[in-house]
């Protein structure tokens, strides 16, 4: 299935299995030696690499008709305008995190140049809104799109000084740390809506 410079997922999988060590798995990744790696490595091992699934199963909301984002009323979002939506759950999370969505049922690669430019402006505004919160050290942006089909880009604030949370594992820590207190969360949510409205 791969062209001269394409990816062959079956070959990648087989090569990886051939690289299994005596323990029957791949060696831990280089990141396991980084100071930000969030797990103790004693006894840690890579999971078995499963077969590729082709064609891939559909994501949530592949069509606008069964898309939960498209069905949400504007009141459920922290901020909206004619073409963009910003969500922040009412229930506290461990760290301030907001999600930028297009109002139209689009995926990342569907944006035309004008929409892409609008997206960039809104991401920077969200970054500034989160960076203005006391105690925020840095603001991170990440986009996967493997779970839900409707465009959604995450923006997350890392607390200042918590340098152990730097980088890619912030998303792991987010799910491990306890939630912020509800009053703080609600105030941050209001702040984001106000900041973006200006
Ligand atoms: Zn949608």
Q: Is the pLDDT of residue 3 over 90?
A: no
Residue 106 sits in the same domain as residue 150? yes
Residue ending a domain, among 57, 74, 104, is 57
Same domain, 50 and 72: no
Residue list, CB under 5 A from ion ligand 1: 67, 69-70, 105, 150
Query: Rounded to the nearest whole angstrom, what is the distance from the C-alpha of residue 106 to the centroid of ligand 1?
Result: 7
Centroid of ligand 1 to alpha carbon of 56 (angstroms):
19
Last residue of a domain, one of 24, 42, 57: 57
39 shares its domain with 83? no
Res 172: pLDDT: 97
Q: What is the reported pTM?
A: 0.94
Average pLDDT score over residue span 112-118 = 98
CA of 191 to the centre of ligand 1 (A): 26
Dihedrals phi, psi of 85, to nearest 5 degrees: -130, 140
For residue 60, what pLDDT is reported?
97
Q: What's residue 163's pLDDT?
A: 98
* Mean pLDDT of the region 153-163: 98
Q: What's the mean pLDDT when you consider all of the chain?
A: 96
Digit-coded pLDDT (tens) for 126-135:
999 999 999 9
Partners of 142 in the β-ladder: 154
Expressed in angstroms and rounded, the spacing between residue 24 Cα and the centre of ligand 1 is: 42
Distance 65 CA to ligand 1 centre (A): 8
* 97 lies in the same domain as 25: no
Distance CA 90, CA 108 (A): 25
pLDDT value at 55 more than 70: yes
Tell me, in angstroms, the distance from the centre of ligand 1 to residue 176's CA.
29
CA–CA distance, 123 with 66 (Å, rounded to integer) = 26
Residues 85 and 159 in one domain: yes
Considering the chain, what percentage of its residues have pLDDT values greater than 90?
96
Could you read off the pLDDT of 170-197 as tens digits, one per residue? 999 999 999 999 999 999 999 999 999 9
Angle ∠(9,109,146) on CA atoms, nearest 5: 50
Q: Are residues 53 and 93 in the same domain?
A: no
Edge-to-edge order in the sheet of strand 136-142: 79-80, 84-87, 97-102, 152-159, 136-142
Q: What is the pLDDT of residue 108?
A: 97
Same domain? 48 vs 130 = no
Q: For residue 147, how far is its CA from the centre of ligand 1 (angstroms)? A: 13
Once rounded to an integer, what is the mean pLDDT over residues 92-117?
98
CATH number, domain of 88, equals: 3.30.428.10
Examine the fold and report which residue of 11, 33, 57 is the final residue of a domain before the chain moves on: 57
Same-domain pairing of 11 and 44: yes
In the predicted structure, residue 1 carries a pLDDT above the cut 60: no
My answer on whether 122 and 181 are in the same domain is: yes
Q: Percentage of the chain surpassing pLDDT 70?
A: 98
What is the CA(110)–ligand 1 centre distance, in A? 13
Number of domains in the chain: 2
Is residue 150 within 8 Å of residue 77, measured between CB atoms? no
- Cα 22 to middle of ligand 1, angstroms: 46
> What's the domain range around 45?
1-57
Please check whether residues 101 and 133 belong to one and the same domain.
Answer: yes
Whether residue 2 has pLDDT greater than 90: no
28 and 68 part of one domain = no
Residues 37 and 6 in one domain: yes
Question: pLDDT confidence of 4, banded at 50, 70, 90?
Answer: confident
């Amino acid at each position: 299935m791969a062209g001269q410079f394409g990816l062959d997922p079956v070959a990648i999988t087989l090569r990886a299995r051939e690289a299994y060590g005596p323990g029957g798995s791949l060696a831990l990744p280089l990141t396991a030696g980084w100071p930000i790696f969030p797990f103790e490595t004693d006894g840690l091992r890579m999971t078995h690499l499963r077969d590729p699934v082709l064609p891939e199963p559909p994501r949530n909301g592949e069509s606008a008709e069964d898309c939960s984002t498209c069905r949400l009323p504007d009141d459920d979002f922290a901020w909206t305008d004619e073409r963009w939506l910003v969500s922040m759950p009412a229930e506290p999370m461990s760290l301030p995190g907001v999600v930028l969505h297009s109002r139209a049922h689009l995926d990342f690669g569907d944006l035309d140049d004008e929409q892409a430019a609008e997206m960039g402006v809104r991401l920077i505004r969200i970054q500034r809104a989160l960076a203005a919160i006391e105690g925020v050290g840095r603001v991170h942006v990440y986009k996967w799109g493997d779970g839900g089909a409707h465009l959604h880009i995450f923006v997350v604030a890392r607390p200042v000084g918590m340098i152990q949370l730097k980088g890619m594992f912030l998303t792991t820590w987010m799910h491990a740390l306890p939630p912020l207190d509800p009053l703080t969360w609600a105030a941050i949510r209001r702040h984001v809506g106000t900041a973006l409205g200006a």
